[in-house]
Amino acid sequence: MKRPFRIAVTGAAGSISNSLLFRLAAGEVFGTDQPIILQLIERSEAMEALRGLAMELEDCAFPLLHAVRLHDNPEDGFRNVHFAFLIGAKPRGPGMERADLLAANAEIFSRQGRALNDHANPDVKVLVVGNPANTNALIASRNAPDLSPSQFTAMSRLDHNRAKGMIANRTGFNTADIRKVAVWGNHSASQFPDVRNAEAMGEPIWPGLDHDWVDNTFIPRVQKRGAEIIDARGQSSAASAAQGAIDHMRDWYMGTPEGDFVSMCIVSDGSYGIAKGIVFSFPVRCRYGRYQIVQGLPIDDAAQKRLDATEKELLEEKDAVKHLLPAETEDAHNNLSVSLRSGANRYGEEDRDDDSEACVLRTDRVI
């Protein structure tokens, strides 16, 4: 039998995790022959709710789920993990300015970056979902001097899937037939959902699309889809966000389909003239657990303006948290070359403290 992967999830008692965890345990990300150990992390106030969720996981009797561990701190929670979903974040409170939100989350993600650096498996793959996701990922990465910046990513896959869904709806094709959609930039209203290179059943769709519809309906609707969902259901996207996280990690680990690409927020290596050292959503292809930016896509003047706007926003966010970005990691982030490299997969294991109090489910004991 394969050795279990250790998977950390922060914000594990929250809405997105509620959808994500059961599907992780069912094998939807790492395959139906890959056992997993879940290391769930929450704020101390939410530990009781997390315990309830862990009971439900146990009650599903998932064959692949070997252990569930509950933690109220990232240092214990990230021990030896191979994959980390950073979902928990501080939400915007009443009267909170954008800068306050950035600062509050910067503290959370700098601690989590240090904890990943010190305790996770050296090849850990990190996906940041908690908002502001791109800058949170940058902060975590900058605080992890022993890990490669290419191990830290943020989620634009929900935006990518939203774009694909809307194009499928518009054109009448099945989403499986739509390829080469891209989302560029920040996971925010400044993002650029780009369908100029998209294909349906191998044929370009751009010539047949109404470009006014693209500019005035499609792009703003993808950009503001989160708000549209909150208006309709009174709560933010949860199941679709979990789907985005599943797709992101699965494709990173298993590879992207031949002839297609996906969108991932990664540390920029300067491709397409984007400033180095910010976490920016690019079209990427994945193989061997690594990713590479798709090069050579045409960028016209209108597209360039959109890239500039979202890059500017990310540079401003970076500036607002610059005091939390240690100087020692600046060079590594400014001299990155992203080419199918996020480190080799070395999933060395240590099962040192599985008998501790934190372990609430364990079915992989030697008996």
Among the listed ranges 171-179, 230-238, 294-302, 342-350, the one in contact with ligand NAX (CB under 6 A) is 230-238
Interaction between residue 185 and ligand NAX (CB under 6 A): no
Select the residue interacting with ligand NAX from 4, 14, 113, 277 (CB under 6 A): 14
From CA 354, how far away is CA 265, in angstroms rounded? 34
Whether residue 98 is annotated as binding a ligand: the answer is yes
Considering the complex, state which of residue 54 and residue 133 has its C-beta at the smaller distance from ligand NAX: 133
Interaction between residue 321 and ligand NAX (CB under 6 A): no
Interaction between residue 43 and ligand NAX (CB under 6 A): yes
Dihedral angle of Cα 280, 283, 285, 286, to the nearest 10 degrees:
30
Check residue 172 and give left, alpha or beta (phi > 0: left; psi -120 to 50: alpha): left
The DSSP-derived string for 127-184 is EE-SSSHHHHHHHHHHT-TTS-GGGEEE--HHHHHHHHHHHHHHH---GGGEE--EEE
Tell me how long the chain is: 367
Task: Render the burial of 283-294: b for 16+ CB within 10 Å, e for the rest.
Answer: bbbbeebbbbbb
Whether residue 285 is annotated as binding a ligand: the answer is no
Burial zone of 357 (CB within 10 Å; 0-12 exposed, 13-18 middle, 19+ buried): exposed
Among the listed ranges 126-134, 190-198, 214-222, 305-313, the one in contact with ligand NAX (CB under 6 A) is 126-134
Whether residue 92 is annotated as binding a ligand: the answer is yes
From CA 232, how far away is CA 226, in angstroms rounded? 10
Considering the complex, state which of residue 141 and residue 237 has its C-beta at the smaller distance from ligand NAX: 237
Candidates 160, 187, 248, 333; catalytic one: 187
Q: Residue 54 CB, nearest distance to ligand NAX (Å)? A: 14
Whether residue 130 is annotated as binding a ligand: the answer is yes
How many residues bind to ligand NAX according to rule CB under 6 A? 29
Interaction between residue 315 and ligand NAX (CB under 6 A): no
Interaction between residue 246 and ligand NAX (CB under 6 A): no
Whether residue 227 is annotated as binding a ligand: the answer is no
Interaction between residue 13 and ligand NAX (CB under 6 A): yes
- List CB contacts of 46: < 8 A, sequence separation 6 or more: 13
Task: Render the burial of 308-329: b for 16+ CB within 10 Å, e for the rest.
Answer: eebbebbeebbebbeebbeeeb
Whether residue 51 is annotated as binding a ligand: the answer is no
Q: Residue 239 CB, nearest distance to ligand NAX (Å)? A: 10
Considering the complex, state which of residue 121 and residue 186 has its C-beta at the smaller distance from ligand NAX: 186
> Vertex 363, ends 361 and 364: CA angle to 5°?
125
Active site residue 187: yes
Active site residues: 187
For binding to ligand NAX (CB under 6 A), which residues are involved? 10-11, 13-16, 41-43, 46, 87-91, 108, 129-131, 133, 155, 158, 187, 226, 236-238, 241, 244
Binding residues for NAD(+): 11-17, 105, 112, 129-131
